[in-house]
Amino acid sequence: MKRRYVIGLFVIMLLAALLDVGFYTSYHLSRLESVPESVSEPEAEPILPADGTAEKNTGYYLAAQSGYVIVYLGDRQTIFQYTSILLDDLPDEIQSEIEGMKYMRSTKELYSFLENYSS
């Protein structure tokens, strides 16, 4: 009976050792596959000419649309951001400025305004 337990224990230890070796080799093989063989310089992308012109942002305009404040880029046509600020929640003086497209010189000034009047 003792011999049977010794053989069973030996078989269990042998299986555990084989599993350990299998996991060890698969782990190291996966690590080797993930390491590039040689590090090369990235290829330079070709420079393509662009059609049109790039313009520097010349500020932002606040306007009203459907009772909410929206932000336009300096060209007064491109919407930069929709806000959740209700026009009716603003002081009367600021409401009239926004209805006439209130100008903001910088991003800092714009975000300061939005932060102050957001709920």
Domain extent listing, the chain: 1-33, 60-117
Separation between Cα atoms, residue 32 and residue 40, nearest integer Å: 18
87 in Cβ contact with 70 (< 8 Å): no
What was the pLDDT predicted at 23?
A: 79
pLDDT tens-place string over residues 29-67 = 777 666 555 555 566 677 767 666 656 668 999 999 999
Count of beta carbons in the 10 Å neighbourhood of residue 63:
17
In the chain, pLDDT over 70 holds for what percent of residues? 78
pTM above threshold 0.75: no
